[in-house]
Amino acid sequence: MLTKLGARVSLVRRPEELAVIDGLVIPGGESSVMDKLARTFGLQAPLEEAIASGMPVYGTCAGLIMLADTLLDAIDGQQSLGGLDVVVRRNAFGSQNQSFETDLDIPALGEVPVHAVFIRGPVVESVGPAATPLASLADGRVVAVEQGNLVGTSFHPEITGEYRFHEYFLGMVRAA
């Protein structure tokens, strides 16, 4: 998605790779494994420092979990990187076969609704004063949030070709 929008994309697996980028996307996947790998490869502290120093970061699904200050339903020992003043519940929408799609009104991205795909996604249980909700489900559960140069979504916009969140993120990168 980022390449299609004109960005140069590099994979980050080690601290030295993090040092040469202008923004970071933490993708979907398994947040507990991402946490373990970040600690194993010495990326946790550099990631926390990059976030604290204002590097733009976009977290989708597991990436949102990684950016949350507080986790609910984490596995034993699981840590997040923090940065988003939110409480996030892992796997809030149930198992894989309970995945769903819906349209969301997100004024920050324009008038056309965003078609969102939720796959075992997290939900933002509460939003602290430093963070701003960007989107909620019809029942009021928050599924997109931002704070400074951080943005997180419970869903995967790239699955449906929805580019506006990535474009929004690239605007943050350019501004930084």
Q: Which of 61, 146, 162, 166 is catalytic?
A: 61
Torsion of CA 30, 53, 176, 38, to 10 degrees: -20
Reported residue count of the chain is 176
Alpha helices in the chain (DSSP H): 15-18, 31-40, 44-52, 62-67, 164-175
Q: Clarify whether 158 is annotated catalytic.
A: yes
Q: Clarify whether 61 is annotated catalytic.
A: yes
Q: Which of 146, 158, 162, 166 is catalytic?
A: 158
Q: Clarify whether 166 is annotated catalytic.
A: no
Question: Are the CB atoms for 172 and 23 separated by under 8 Å?
Answer: yes
CA atoms within 13 A on the CB side of 145: 30
**Phi, psi for 16 (deg, rounded to 5):** -65, -25
Name 33's Cβ contacts closer than 8 Å, sequence gap at least 6: none
Catalytic residues: 61, 156, 158
